[in-house]
Structure 1
Amino acid sequence: MIKGDPGMEDIYEWSQKQINVPLRGRTGHGDGVHLLTGPIYVCGAEPGDVLQVDILDIVPRINPASGKTYGSNAAASWGYQYKAGFLDGIKREVITIYEILRDSANNLLWAVPDYQFTYNAPQKGYVGPVTTCTETYGLVPETANGIHYEWNDTSRLYRYNTPVPCENGTQTWTSYLYPGVITPHPTGTEDYDIRGKFKVPINFHIGNMGVASYYSQLVDSVPPAIHGGNIDDRRIGKGATMYYPVQVNGALLSLGDCHTAMGDSELDGTGIETSVTPTLRVTLHKKNALPLKVSKLHYPLLENDNEFAVHGFNYMNYLKDLPNPSKDIYKINNLTSAFTNTYNNTRDFIMTAFNMTEDQAITAITVGIDFSVSQVVNGQWGMQGIVPKWMFNMSDTSPFTPKVMAGTSKPANVTLLTSL
């Protein structure tokens, strides 16, 4: 995916010779795993405003050496399969590499699995990638107010407090503990049997996008919250508009964690993680002139041609509600509280946007609105209430016809997707 692409090699090189991206996460441990573009300072943005982000396009990055595009899906230790259990009782992290196919006119078609490999398979002679030792001290800037926090860790404890000792100048990674580690191939565990088994529609979307939280301490990039972040709603793609309540001066928009495809739930821990280039348009709505639909916004809201998606999580404001938020949020995850908050947000949205009473909103939700699970892997779980615009457009007397493909924000009449 990277070799032969000078731009990618320059950014992600991590070998026994050098590490170009050594510092990951708020402590250097890899907590907060995402490579995000930003923060983007929006002039004039203040708390109480609403930031509108229109996704105009998303195109995949092509490796100039091969002319191809690949993505990876990590069935990782934070995936739901680790909670549900494996048929043979053996927990394992399996990576699947996908190729994104095109037709003869270079139109995007679909993604197909190419091969799988396994982390920490000593029985096959592979224990994991070996790299030079990560740094254990440094400075992490807090962009919102210019304060710098120092961190210093000599224990080399990573995800789940797993030790990865530095021995003779190298570290061996026996599981997916520190994002950014590049796996050289072959590992000896490659399995090509998955080729030709299935294909998935292409639906490029942005998994992690949002504004900065008001929280004065460093914030993990994994759990989503009222400011957006790692929502992992597969509808946040081309044709979608996101609305975020601004919490700090400048809003500080960041985005990354893009996927070629993903089903509701992001079950195994990731989508098809892919390098893409999005085109965005940012609009600032001042708090004294907010459009009605976002006049009482206290959650991330999606809009496309067909519907609104009202998002909710276990805790809408876990940074405020939990005593030790960066750790406690990973201990409490269930769909009951996520559904309750999503329902409450959906009810509030309908009452505000369509001038309805609570009782009117309840019956409208019951007979016409679907709820779905965005993800069950991000520390706190997420859901969304899908509100069709057609329901509330009483001047439209035609039968309901979806304007976007189900579970996306793409036009419903598109068969072949974006040309490159």
Structure 2
Amino acid sequence: MSWGYFDNSQEPVCRVESGDIVRIETVSHHAGDAPDYMMDEGVRKIYDEIDVENRGPGVHIVTGPIHVEGAEPGDVLECRILNLEPRLPYGSNVCANWGLLYDDFDDTEYVTIYEVDQETQTAHARFQYEYPDLYDTPGRIIDPKSVDREPVLADIRVPVRYHFGTAGVAPAADGKIDTVPPGIYGGNVDNRNFNVGTSMYYPVQVEGGLFTAGDSHIAEGDGEISGTAIEAHVDAVVQFFVRDDIDISAPLLETEEYWMTHAFDADLDIATRKAALEMISFLEETKGLSEPESYSLLSVAADFQSTQVVNGEKGMHCKLRKDLFPPSSD
């Protein structure tokens, strides 16, 4: 487990074969927002044992890396989500200084703690408080007695949608790579559709793939505009496959209904353009469409949605229905 970085020189925590099933525990870097709700003995131990000096340059606690035998650069690693469930039924949302509307709210940051109702599979707010100063230290623990917790969002229920916020293969670049900006290797993609029954495909950058995951969420809106989703500890069961029948240059998500290509750039217009080109390339490769055919199809049938706008490299995904195509072409 690492805090704030990917590093392709790390020793794998385990080695698996293509087709193997793995259980992954992910821990949130936001547990200190409400330690009385979001910390158990195991979480507290992680916070105590990873010194502040060993955190960064990013902020996320990530689990891994996992070496998948046979995965080589040029291959694609499929991560199929079989199950996701919360370690603790609480999560934190931060209206943060890196959020879209920070300047519009007088440079004030707020933390809202949500609780999951397992029976209805919804989340509701327990309380909100004004953050005491600048939210800039990964893993800071706030004394509950030092802030005024106020009830908010009465009678509002948010549908639960557990997913990995940060997941992917190790970057090709050497050294400690920041977990905040996403990239072609995946990382902090923040696609709320990456949940149970879906598969994310990653272009392998280094031998073994070295898959890592963390930054899990209870729920998130497209854009993640306040700076975070509902950040939580989530236990996952995933299955890995090494694929040589898919040619991609950025993460690709497959759900029951959709294909989604991803792209990232500081300029959302450029990210949109890249996501379109990724989908056009995918349609040429897998459906046999020409560029003009694909371009027309995207304009009349694809949805372009902002994955997130708060991680430096903004994310856009192009979403296309699978049932547009004859069953034999899937």
Q: TM-score over 0.5 for the alignment?
A: yes
Please list, as runs of the form range in 1=range in 2, the aligned pairs for 1:9-408 lying within 5 A after superposition: 9-12=44-47, 19-23=48-52, 28=55, 30-62=56-88, 69-82=89-102, 85-86=104-105, 90-103=106-119, 108-120=120-132, 174-192=133-151, 194-285=152-243, 290-291=244-245, 294=246, 296-314=247-265, 333-393=266-326
Code of the aligned partner of 1:6 = E
Q: Percent identity?
A: 37
Whole-Å separation in 2 of the counterparts to 1:80 and 1:219: 24
Alignment deviations for residues 6-59 of structure 1 (CA, whole Å, 9 cap, x no partner)? 2223223xxxxxx4321466xx5x431000001111122211111111000101
Any idea what SS the aligned residue of 2:141 has? Answer: coil
Whole-Å separation in 1 of the counterparts to 2:184 and 2:126: 37
Structure 2 length as normaliser, TM-score? 0.85
CA gap 1:249/1:358 in 2 versus in 1, 3 angstroms = same
Give the Å deviation of 1:310. 0.5
Structure 1 length as normaliser, TM-score? 0.67
Code of the aligned partner of 1:343 = A
Give the Å deviation of 1:364. 0.9
Any idea what SS the aligned residue of 1:347 has? Answer: helix
Any idea what SS the aligned residue of 1:180 has? Answer: coil
CA contact (8 A) 2:186 2:202 kept: yes
Whole-Å separation in 1 of the counterparts to 2:62 and 2:134: 23
Structure 1 residue aligned with 2:7? none
Code of the aligned partner of 1:306 = E
Any idea what SS the aligned residue of 2:281 has? Answer: helix
Whole-Å separation in 2 of the counterparts to 1:395 and 1:282: 24
Unaligned runs of 5+ in 1: 13-18, 63-68, 121-173, 315-332, 397-420
Whole-Å separation in 1 of the counterparts to 2:284 and 2:35: 49
CA contact (8 A) 1:207 1:234 kept: yes
Unaligned runs of 5+ in 2: 1-33
Code of the aligned partner of 2:222 = D
Alignment deviations for residues 133-189 of structure 1 (CA, whole Å, 9 cap, x no partner)? xxxxxxxxxxxxxxxxxxxxxxxxxxxxxxxxxxxxxxxxx3211111111102232
CA contact (8 A) 1:2 1:8 kept: no
Whole-Å separation in 1 of the counterparts to 2:192 and 2:138: 22
Whole-Å separation in 1 of the counterparts to 2:95 and 2:173: 31
The structure with the greater share of residues assigned to strand is: 2
Alignment deviations for residues 314-339 of structure 1 (CA, whole Å, 9 cap, x no partner)? 1xxxxxxxxxxxxxxxxxx2211111
Whole-Å separation in 1 of the counterparts to 2:35 and 2:237: 22
Structure 2 residue aligned with 1:159? none
Give the Å deviation of 1:395. 7.3
Any idea what SS the aligned residue of 1:53 has? Answer: strand
Any idea what SS the aligned residue of 1:41 has? Answer: strand
CA contact (8 A) 1:374 1:384 kept: yes
Code of the aligned partner of 1:376 = V
CA contact (8 A) 2:75 2:242 kept: yes
Code of the aligned partner of 1:277 = D
Q: How many residues are matched?
A: 294
Alignment deviations for residues 184-208 of structure 1 (CA, whole Å, 9 cap, x no partner)? 102232222x141521000001000
Alignment deviations for residues 349-401 of structure 1 (CA, whole Å, 9 cap, x no partner)? 111111000111111111111110000011100010111110012679xxxxx
Any idea what SS the aligned residue of 1:186 has? Answer: helix
Give the Å deviation of 1:250. 1.4
CA contact (8 A) 1:96 1:117 kept: yes
Whole-Å separation in 1 of the counterparts to 2:300 and 2:238: 35
Pairwise CA RMSD of aligned residues? 1.8
Code of the aligned partner of 1:196 = A
CA contact (8 A) 2:169 2:204 kept: yes
CA gap 1:24/1:367 in 2 versus in 1, 3 angstroms = farther
Larger Rg: 1
